[in-house]
Amino acid sequence: MEFPEGLNILWSPVDGDPDLKPSELPPPEVFEEALHNLHITLHPQTQHRATYASASGPLVEPTLGLYCPIEGGDYIIDATVHELARRTGAEVLVLDAIHLAAGEWGQFGKGILYRLLWICQSLTLLFKLQAHFS
């Protein structure tokens, strides 16, 4: 799938982040808690429970939510996500709500909903395969 030129929405830990400053990260104990929760979210058993129903309970939806109590602290969330991805070897798909809200007049152009649906289906399949083979 091709994205419009200049639209940088896929970040890979292989690319690195030379601009990351340790001062942009939350305190170590907060970061380690976020990393621990991300490991639980990405754990194969958690992914399996999200994919297959069982008699022990309903499907779970493994999510990780991050917030920063500092007004204008988006840069801290961004740096934290990049560092979490680097430490777990994960790729990050960055979707800006403003670009999505702009619809066919935004950077994604016409067919944005179909493209995003394709991306989401691809990621879901990837997680299912990863959980199955782990």
**Same domain, residue pair 19 and 85:** yes
Is residue 34 located within the same domain as residue 69? yes
Question: Does residue 83 share a domain with residue 117?
Answer: no
Which value, in Å, is the radius of gyration of the alpha carbons in the chain?
17
In total, how many domains does the chain have?
2
- Domain of 128, in residue numbers: 93-134
Q: Residue 31's pLDDT is what? A: 93
- Same domain (yes/no): 80, 28: yes
- The answer on 60 and 103 residing in a single domain is no
Question: Is residue 71 domain-shared with residue 97, that is, in the same domain?
Answer: no
> Which pLDDT belongs to residue 42?
84
pLDDT score, position 53: 78
In a shared domain, residues 60 and 120: no
DSSP SS3 for 119: helix
Q: pLDDT 10s digit of each residue in the chain, 134 long?
A: 555 566 666 777 766 665 677 788 999 999 999 999 999 888 888 888 888 877 877 888 888 888 889 898 888 988 898 889 888 888 887 776 666 666 666 666 665 566 666 666 666 655 555 555 55
